Amino acid sequence: MIVGLLGPEGTFSEKAANEWDSTAEPRYFEDVSDVVRAVIDDDVDYGIIPIENSLEGSVGMTLDALLKYDTRIVGEIIIPIRHCLLAKGKISEIRTILSHPQALAQCRHSIKNRFGEIEIVETMSTAWAAKRASESKEMAAIASETSAVKYGLNILLRDLQDRKENYTRFIVLGKTAPEPTSKDKTSVVVYLRKDRPGALYEILGEFASRNINLTKIESRPTKKALGDYLFYIDLEGHVIDEKVQEALRMVEKKAGMLRILGSYPKAE
Cite the active site residues. Answer: 168, 170
- Burial letters for 222-239: b for 16+ Cβ neighbours within 10 Å, e otherwise? eeeeeeeebbbbbbbbbe
Strand partners of residue 246: none
Strand partners of residue 229: 221
**Ordered alpha helix ranges (H), 177-229:** 199-208
Alpha carbon 121 to its chain centroid, in Å, reads 21
Distance (Å, whole) CA 88 – CA 154: 6
Say if residues 108 and 100 touch (Cβ distance below 8 Å).
Answer: no
DSSP of 39-97: HHTTSSSEEEEEEEETTTEE-HHHHHHHHHS--EEEEEEEEE---EEEESS-GGG--EE
Specify the DSSP class assigned to residue 230: E
**Ordered alpha helix ranges (H), the chain:** 12-20, 32-40, 60-68, 101-106, 108-115, 126-133, 145-150, 199-208, 242-254
Distance (Å, whole) CA 248 – CA 258: 8
Residue (of 67, 69, 68, 21) closest to 48 by Cα position: 21
